[in-house]
Amino acid sequence: MIRIEGLKKSFGSKVALENLDLNWAGGEILGFLGPYGSGKSTLISILTGQVDPDAGQVQILGKDVRNLGVEDFAQLGLMSEALGFYETLTVYQNLSFFSRFFQIPMQVVDDLLKRLDLWEDRDVKASKLSMGMRQRMLLIRAVLHQPKLLFLDEPTSGLDPTLARKIQDLLLELKEKGTAIFLTTHNMEEATRLSDRLAILHKGSIVECGSLEEIGQRQATGEDLVTLSYRNGRTKTVPRAEVSQHLSDQVVGMESREMDLEMIFMKLTGASLYES
């Protein structure tokens, strides 16, 4: 479903993607985990034909992304502000337009609006929506035609836990109905709950890829880890054997940790998504 070989992309002197390779058959949720600026959004932009790569081969649905036609794009779903919507129209009017385009009954839209707590706001103009409301409207637009392949870039970022959970439940149902989902996130919990297969992106390259079980088996070290808490609120996780190197009067607490996805991410990238 997605095949990438030697993908490179830079913006001026900034390297966004470097020698990235991926071969994914679909049929599941593929999570891309990485911090902001790791290249996740650029990758989706290239896969959906919005940005041209500098080098490498990129195929989706068996075709070069530069040769996709209207019938191919009709099989895709993309949650993105870049696609735009009509600011002067209401939520309902915007979604009605897209439902007619895809010949989808409005009952499908109604059900999604209710499910994602937008039904009461269906008559609000798009220009008046909060960020969270816009996010949910964009998601509904992306999934209402049950696409063959769905691209989501940080779909729950900034949402409260209840709404995030509702969106995650919806995505799991879509997967069961046959939609392959390409998901980027910097949320460890979300990546763990949703991803059948996970790719860890660091400085524009994939440094690990596989099921959570496969990654855990490959990256397990058997050594104990300790999380240090500092007076300024920061945390740092280090091997137990190195704790003495990090002790100071600023350390206010220590906690033993088992190897988990966060620890694996730190091992591969040298940083924790949760350090603050």
From the centroid of its chain, how far is CA 220? Answer: 25
Confidence of residue 83 (pLDDT cuts 50, 70, 90): low
All residues at 6 or more sequence positions from 37 whose CB lies less than 8 Å from its CB, including other chains: none
Domain 2-215: state its class: alpha beta
207 backbone φψ class: left, alpha, beta (φ>0; ψ -120 to 50): alpha
Confidence of residue 276 (pLDDT cuts 50, 70, 90): very low
pLDDT at position 165: 96
Q: Which is it for strands 180-185 and 29-33: parallel, antiparallel or unpaired?
A: parallel
Poorest-confidence range of 54-68, 100-114, 242-256?
242-256
| pTM of structure | 0.85
Any idea where the domains of the chain sit in the sequence?
2-215, 221-269
Four-CA torsion 172, 50, 265, 169, nearest 10 degrees: -10
Transcribe 83-111 into DSSP letters: G---TTSBHHHHHHHHHHHTT--HHHHHH
Question: Averaged over 134-145, what is the pLDDT?
Answer: 95
Percent of the chain with pLDDT over 70: 95
Q: Six-digit token pair at 55?
A: 């080098």
Higher pLDDT, 265 or 84: 265
Transcribe 207-273 into DSSP letters: EEEE-HHHHHHHH-----EEEEEETTS-EEEEEGGGHHHH--TTEEEEEEE---HHHHHHHHHSS-T
135/98 Cα distance (integer angstroms): 16
Phi and psi at 266, nearest 5°, equal -65, -40
